[in-house]
A and B are shown apart, each in its own frame.
Chain A
Amino acid sequence: MRLTILDDGHGIRAKAMFVLIRVFSGHPVVDAVKLALYRPSFYRAGGLTQEAMRGPSEWSVADRELMAAYVSKMNETEFCIAAHTATSALAYNDGAKVSAALADLETAPLTEPLRATLRLLGKLTRENNVDAEDVRNVLAAGASAQQIKDALAVAFAFNVTDRLADVFNFATDDPAAINAGAKYLLTRGYR
């Protein structure tokens, strides 16, 4: 990473955890974990991300992981695209569906509420703004106001994470490490 403190500036407890991760997962510690465990008294977003991604919602976990992948695609953040594409594919048990959604949102085999919601998140991420008409289009497609609010929470979490991943230059891990991370996120979440 671009800041050496994020690679080796951690306290002794975090360093001990890195050893355990390496031993038990068989993979190097990914940069997202190194960031999460660096000075957690300052930047500690795991609870917010957990609520957005795993809290109660009419969206499934797979849907929300797809939203994370889609927002990351809009931001062109390679690490997060790979990580959340894998997690969504695993959660849906349908990698083709996720690949289709990221390749062409308009023709992918998605429900209309999800397609319209992803469209809204895409515009918000690319242009920084949406308006009431944009939201009305999502409501007309069948998403509830609460579903839109839940999706905006996912977009917030990944519009932060993507920027940090890009600025700090997260390594894009090998596919085996990405798949191991996807399994971890589905079983343990973001805390």
Chain B
Amino acid sequence: MSDIASLHRSLVERVLEGEGRASHEIRRAAFDNVGLAEPVRGFVEKVAHGARTVTDADIDTLRNASLSEDQIYEIVVCAAIGQATRQYQNALAALSSATGGD
């Protein structure tokens, strides 16, 4: 059966710990959606919980805060993977609970 566990671990490790233009700290904070200052905080919250509401103006706000396009790209990727990971892990825990796993 398909198993993405090791691929998931590698993906998360790569975007958080691999070479990038944004700091490891801001990538981790975007992934976790905690501990960010404005305007990144509100933007990451949108990526996590309302991605379709993101606008050109949101991106311009980040550019005006001196973030490069590559830094914005990395923050978006980390935020998206972080929220999807929380959803995934929540559901795996529910599956484990329902099937009597640990």
Contacts and interface: CB of A to CB of B under 8 A. Distances in A.
Q: Do A and B interact?
A: yes
Contacts of A109: none
Given A5-B73, A51-B7, A132-B94, A156 B47 contact: no
Interface in A44-80: 44-45, 47-48, 51-52, 55-58, 75-77
Contacts of B2: 51-52, 55-57, 150, 153
A56 B95 contact: no
- Chain B, interface size category, equals 35 or more
Contact of A149 (B19, B48, B79, B92): B92
Contacts of A134: 94
Interface in B1-39: 1-4, 7-8, 11, 14-15, 18-20
B87 A128 contact: yes
A121 to B, nearest CB: 9
A155 B51 CA distance: 16
Contacts, number: 144
Contact of A167 (B1, B76, B87): B76
A29 interface: no
Interface stretch (A11-19, A157-165, A179-187): A157-165
Contact of A145 (B19, B70, B95): B95
Given A55-B3, A131-B94, A166-B52, A43 B84 contact: no
Contacts of B84: 156, 159-160, 163
A30 interface: no
Contact of A156 (B14, B87, B97): B87
Interface in A139-177: 139, 145-146, 148-150, 152-153, 155-157, 159-160, 162-164, 166-169
Nearest to A48: B7
B39 to A, nearest CB: 15
A130 B54 contact: no
A42 B18 contact: yes
B51 A166 contact: yes
B99 A145 contact: yes
Contacts of B76: 163-164, 167-168
8 contacts: A42-B77, A43-B14, A48-B7, A55-B3, A128-B49, A156-B85, A159-B87, A163-B80
Given A44-B14, A163-B76, 10 more contacts: A48-B7, A57-B2, A76-B52, A130-B94, A132-B97, A135-B95, A149-B95, A150-B1, A156-B84, A156-B85
